[in-house]
Amino acid sequence: MSDGARFPGPAPVRLAGEGLVLREWRPDDVPRMPVLFDEPQVRRWTPLASPFDLDAAIAYLERAEQRRSDGSALQLAVTERDDVPLGEVLLFRHPDIAEIGWALGAAHRGRRLASRAVRVLLGWAATEWGIEQFRALIEPGNTASGRVAAACGFAVGDGKPLLVESRGRPVELTAWLLSARDSARDVPTGNRLSVAGEAPGSG
């Protein structure tokens, strides 16, 4: 993935696989966002605004749309039938690697939704967008996200933790790495992926 590459635009991306539909956020999702993201585990392990109220949700949607427009990130709502969002999966563009992240509402955890959504997005990004290397940045102690990463084929990298600041506190993040070759090998057989939206080479 070379510097200057952009995520597909402007057609909405819609991915279906593993019993899920991943689609871009819509304005009518805004009232649902605080239900998903204004809760202790999201506050503890992610940089999302806290409290995550309606104003924060509106700002979040606007930021997602801007990132989508400038090609730096793709943020998809996780749904089961293209209906109410259950969480989110994200892909950020860097020059030589793509960073993936996820978050689920508290009521929807324990159903493998995150790992299923991540695998769908990984498969699409690797095959349709040509991304070769993926990274997930996870804070030590976040065992739930570690389990998701491991279930999707990620392994802890050898490099030093990345030190960042999140809501005024220093945070060390461990890089979990995955190659596109490993991603393709780890996708369960029999899962069909349908794609709507633009991607390089898709015409």
Q: What's the CATH code of the domain at 26?
A: 3.40.630.30
Q: Does residue 203 sit within a domain? A: no
Cα–chain center distance at 82: 17
What is the pLDDT tens value at each position of the chain, 203 positions in all? Answer: 444 456 766 678 999 999 999 999 999 999 999 999 999 999 999 999 999 999 999 999 999 999 998 889 999 999 998 899 999 999 998 888 999 999 999 999 999 999 999 999 999 999 888 889 999 999 999 999 999 999 999 999 988 888 887 767 788 999 999 997 765 544 443 333 444 433 322 22
Return the sign of the alpha-carbon dihedral for residues 69, 166, 57, 14. positive
Q: Does residue 73 sit within a domain? A: yes
Alpha-helical runs (H) found in the chain: 33-37, 40-45, 54-70, 113-128, 143-151, 180-186
Contact of 117 with 17, CB cutoff 8 Å: no
Domain range enclosing 97: 14-193
- Number of domains within the chain: 1
pTM, full prediction: 0.85
Q: Does residue 40 sit within a domain? A: yes
Q: Does residue 7 sit within a domain? A: no
- Per DSSP, 179 falls in state E
Q: Does residue 113 sit within a domain? A: yes
